[in-house]
């Protein structure tokens, strides 16, 4: 299966949000990756629900919503109404992860679980067959433009072994510091979805940059 590219809208020019979304539509990107931050779980605040609603009116591709918030269960149905196709919660933010995963699926969305750089993948052992997507944070969450954490390669390998052992169909997503220098190695280790923010939106030609990542 060919890998997917999910430009991270957090890195776009918010003053040209409509144009940036249309660019993603026109590009070879597969998903829109949208980070939702509450200033509590991570030290930053990002999109609110009205902005996501606006993005959904323009986006013609899968909406991949990444919740970096505490108590995500309170908002699952809201994000379904806003148009989320995939809803990812952080393992570190969920007291009852199994219940949260199934609540997302009951709303008709695909369920993702994100883990921070310090969190071992074996904590997903008991839920891996229930998850559609695992998002491995390859930077510490909260801000764009950070440097890639090299240990991510080992985590992909470990996660791929777990997925194969459990005969799961879970996709592996990498979020943070992705560029054309590390994309090939990430894919060869087992990554299925690459999230790229600053590398895409700060480039001279974002459509070409997305194409390079897609065809690497």
Residue 58's closest CA among 34, 89, 88? 34
In whole angstroms, give the CA distance from residue 205 to residue 210: 9
Are 128 and 170 in contact by the 8 Å Cβ rule? The answer is yes
Are 174 and 136 in contact by the 8 Å Cβ rule? The answer is yes
C-alpha triplet 93, 13, 112: angle, nearest 5°: 25
C-alpha triplet 127, 29, 69: angle, nearest 5°: 45
End-to-end CA distance of the chain: 14
Are 46 and 37 in contact by the 8 Å Cβ rule? The answer is yes
Read off φ and ψ for residue 203, nearest 5 degrees: -80, 165
Give the active site residue among 30, 35, 132, 192: 35
Is 204 noted as a catalytic residue in this protein?
Answer: no
Give the active site residue among 64, 132, 175, 192: 175
- The runs of H, that is alpha helices, within the chain are 17-26, 49-58, 76-82, 97-106, 152-165, 183-189, 198-201, 206-214
Is 35 noted as a catalytic residue in this protein?
Answer: yes
Active-site annotation, residues:
35, 175
């Amino acid at each position: 299966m060919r890998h997917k590219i999910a430009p991270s809208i957090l890195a776009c020019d918010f003053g040209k949000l409509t144009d940036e979304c249309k660019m993603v539509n026109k590009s070879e990107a597969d998903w829109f990756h949208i980070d939702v931050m509450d200033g509590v779980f991570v030290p930053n605040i990002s999109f609110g629900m009205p902005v996501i609603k606006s993005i959904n009116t323009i986006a013609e591709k899968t909406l991949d919503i990444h919740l970096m918030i505490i108590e995500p269960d309170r908002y699952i149905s809201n994000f379904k109404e806003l148009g989320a196709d995939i809803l990812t919660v952080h393992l570190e933010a969920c007291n009852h992860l199994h219940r949260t995963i199934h609540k997302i699926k009951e709303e008709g969305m695909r369920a993702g679980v994100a883990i921070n750089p310090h969190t071992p993948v074996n904590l997903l052992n008991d839920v891996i067959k229930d998850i559609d997507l695992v998002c491995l944070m390859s930077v510490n969450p909260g801000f764009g433009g950070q440097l890639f954490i090299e240990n991510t390669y080992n985590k992909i390998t470990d996660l791929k072994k777990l997925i194969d052992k459990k005969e799961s169909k879970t996709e592996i997503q990498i979020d943070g510091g992705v560029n054309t220098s590390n994309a090939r190695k990430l894919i060869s280790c087992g990554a299925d979805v690459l999230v790229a923010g600053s590398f895409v939106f700060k480039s001279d030609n974002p459509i070409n940059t997305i194409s390079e990542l897609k065809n690497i």
